[in-house]
Structures are given as C-alpha cells and as structure tokens.
Amino acid sequence: MTGIVYLIGAGPGDYKLITVKGRECIEKADVIVYDYLADEHLLRWARPDAELIYAGKQCKHHTLHQYEINELLVKFGKEGKIVARLKGGDPLIFGRGGEEALELVKAGVPFEFVPGVTSGISAPAYAGIPVTQRAMATSFAIVTGHEDPTKNESGINWEGLATSVDTISFVMGIGNLPMISQKLMEYGRPKDTPVAVIRWGTKPIQETLISTLETVADDVKKAGIKPPSIITVGDVVNLRESLRWFDNKPLFGKTIMVTRARSKASVLSEQLEALGANVIEAAAIKTQALPLEKKTEDVLLQAHSFKTVIFTSAEGVRYFFKALQTMGKDSRVLGQAKLCAIGSATAKALHDKGLLADIVPADYKGESVVKALRPILKEGDKVLLIQPKVARKVIYNGLTEGGIDVTVARLYETLVDESQAVTLQEALQSDTVDYITFTSSSTVTNTLKLLGEEGKELLKKAKVTCIGPITAATCVEQGIEPDLISDTFTIPAMVAMIQADAANNN
C-alpha cells in the first residue's frame, strides 16, 4: 500500500500564517518531517502518535543531507504512511520542493504541493513594506542570495536584474550581501537605493535595519544581523515609515513566559501575541481526571437534587462534563439546580456547554462565592461543590458554618508538568524574559519545583506577574516578591496590567 507525501509550505515564521490545508495535513499525518524554519508551534496540531523527524539545515550544519531526506520521504511513502513535509515559506521558492517531488515521482510515491506564504513577500509586509505599490513599484522578483561568490559564472543575470525590476527580495543572502550590493550598483542600480534587511520576519523577535545599497553591507556587519534574513531592495522600502504596523505594537520586543497548563495557556498567549509579545509557553502544571468512583458517579447522577452546583474553575466544568460523557449522561442531570461560577472564565466554560451561570461573584475568589451564596441559601440546603483533588477549603468551610449541606465531588488533579522544564530553565538563564506570569498558586509552587535550588534567583531575572492576591500570597510564602498583581482576577486584566507596565517603562 502506497501512502502520500504532502510538501507543505509552513509559512515565514508566524505559525498562524500556515494555510488551512497545511494544518489539515499536519493533523492527519503519520510522519512529520520538519525544517529549521518551520515554527514548532505547528507540531502541536500533530496527532499524539505521529512520528516527528527534525531535518533542519542551517549554514554549514545539516541535520540530514538532502539525499537522506529524499530517501526518508520515499521510504515512508512506500510504507503507506501519510507524510507531512514541513518546509519554511513556500516549498517551491528555493525550498527544494521540486527536487523532493521528482524523487517521489521516480519512486512511484503520490505527492501534493501545499503552497505556503513566502518570506520574500511576507517579511517585508511585516516590516511595513509592500513589495509592489501603485506608481512606485509594478514589478517584483525573489532571488536566491546563496550563490557561491567564488564560482566562475553566476546563475543570476545581474545586468538584467539590477534595473529591470522595481523591487527585489533576496533570500538566504546575508553572507553574500557585500557581493549582492556591489553587483546591483555595478549594473546600474543607484547607490542610494533604499534597502531593508529583515531578520526573523513575521516573528515577535523580528529585527529590521534600513540602509542603502552603498552602506548596507557595513551597517549589517556593525549591527550583527545574522541569518535567517530577507534583503529587500527598492523605493518601496521608504514606505516603512508610514506603514509600520507590526514592530510598533505595545508589547513588541517583550518576552513573556506563560506557566499555565497547556490546555489553558492559549487564551493568555493569544492575547499577549496580539499585542506583539514574544510568548514562551513553559507549562508548570497539567491536569488529569481522577478515577471515577461509584460514589462520585452517584453524586453526579443526583446533581438535580442540589439547590446549587458550584464550579470553581473552567477545568472543573470540563471534567464535570467529561465524567457525564463517561457515564452516558449530559447536562440534563443538573435539572433545575442553580449554577454558580467562581469567575468569568468559568462562566464562559458553562456558556460553551449551553448553560448560563446564575451566580458569578463580583470578584473571583472563594471568599466571594461564600458571600454571594450565604444570603440566598438557608440552613439545610444542599450544595454540590466541584473541585480538584487539592483545593482551598474556603468555600466548604464558609458554607458549612452556615448550616448548609455541602457535598464535594473531586474530579481531577493538578500535577507538575515536567515536559517544559528545560525550556523554563534555559529561558530564564538567558536573561531574555521580561515577565513571568502566574495564574494560580499551583503554577507558582510547581514552577519552583521545576527550577530546583536556583529557582528563586532565576525568578528575579523577570518581573513576577500574578493574577490576584491569592497567587501573590503564595509567591510571598515561597520567598518571592511579586512585581505586578492584577486587581481583577481575569486574563484580560493581567494582560492590561503588563501592557501598562511596559508602556510606563519604555
């Protein structure tokens, strides 16, 4: 049985620029062979059982030679596997996609090209530079800058290229920049022609240098700009001053570490990324369902008999419905019970299940749940409290002291996530992290476990940012002084606080 190989353009760097079809191919692949420039965020869409093979190639350092990559693709295709071959940019723009396809044809392995967003256009766009512009640039070329400058004859028609095309983008050209600029001037391009050099285009670590043909080689050397970079030549470069939009976002240039569980990190990460931040996800915690015991099943099946059901987290909502699904039941077990959500995120999780929270306290903590419920519950009323294995006893104690009958259903537990320990340590040791965010007490304690003995010292390298006083108190108990504490215990409030702090300190 023969499989199929998808030769996919992974885009220029920003993982969200992959095409819908590209993502679909990743999601169904048995094997993913990915390059240096294919953002690893893309691998999150891979199946848990997919085989991941890194085939990155950097200057003078090839993990796999091209012939070895070709052999792998043929081998997996002949084994009947679905293969996603992830290549930076577009597979047919200096991506050797055509070479790989010819090998597959020779071996009788089916393939498809899945075009991608090429860096030659997108990197300038993210720098505020359109490669074509009415009355300014009506032609455009993408040229390899990777030619050997010592060879006898160039494959590039420099005489034709220099003056016949309005805008030129060179890929992989930093090493040959002196030769490129000299050739263009030699064949008639004015020495004062604007040039943009864009490193890591479309990513939140993007760097842009503006110069001229005459001075760009020296300027790049002085600035220490290295690959991967795009070199864009032409008058359109002057539009950057007016059209700059990406690298002037409020959090551009800031690196922020998110320690939330991966299942919940995306909400915070996406809001920070939208403001231009470079986000490092280094989950310190993960959650998993507890074994569903018979007595817990009986309690959930009788949920309708409780006056109020209290959800203390969005995860609690998720595991509640997961338990119901395991038992072959759905939200109808709740009957006419009132629903209390500890905060807006928990209320939203209920809303996503088609349910409206009847009670959402003004501020999102256990004490406020007690304050909101005590006036509307009377002695003897039955309440079901959905919680993790380990949780604060504030709600339970506060309600039982008023004579309310509280039953606790513990459906999940929070554990240390050790998978990101190296990412966490290396990022903090590099002195590049501006903020580290803590959204619960468990993210604080588990981060310290992952960091080990030097944890407290490493955390001093970044601004410790807490979602509220309870999380901040845990920091203090652990000997860490929080730098920022949001008054409103929500992700948007935390993001706004970081944005305000960055603005005040620029």
Which residues belong to the active site?
35, 57, 172
Residue carrying the six token digits 């000997």: 479
Residue carrying the six token digits 């890194």: 54
| HSE-CB of 276 using CA atoms within 13 angstroms | 19
Cβ–Cβ under 8 Å, residues 235 and 194: yes
Cβ–Cβ under 8 Å, residues 205 and 278: yes
Cβ–Cβ under 8 Å, residues 6 and 33: no
Cβ–Cβ under 8 Å, residues 77 and 3: yes
Cβ–Cβ under 8 Å, residues 340 and 308: yes
Determine the Cα–Cα distance for residues 502 and 505; give it in Å rounded to an integer: 5
Residue carrying the six token digits 């600035």: 223
Contacts of 267 (CB under 8 A, 6+ apart): 345, 491
Determine the Cα–Cα distance for residues 364 and 468; give it in Å rounded to an integer: 9
Residue carrying the six token digits 């569980």: 261
Residue 506, Cβ density class (10 Å: 0-12 exposed, 13-18 middle, ≥19 buried): exposed
Contacts of 473 (CB under 8 A, 6+ apart): 441
Tell me which amino acid residue 215 is.
T
| 196: three-class secondary structure by DSSP | strand
Contacts of 215 (CB under 8 A, 6+ apart): none
Q: Please give the helix or strand (H or E) that residue 185 lies within, else none.
A: helix 177-186
398-414 exposure pattern, b = at least 16 Cβ within 10 A, e = fewer? bbeeeebebebbbbbeb
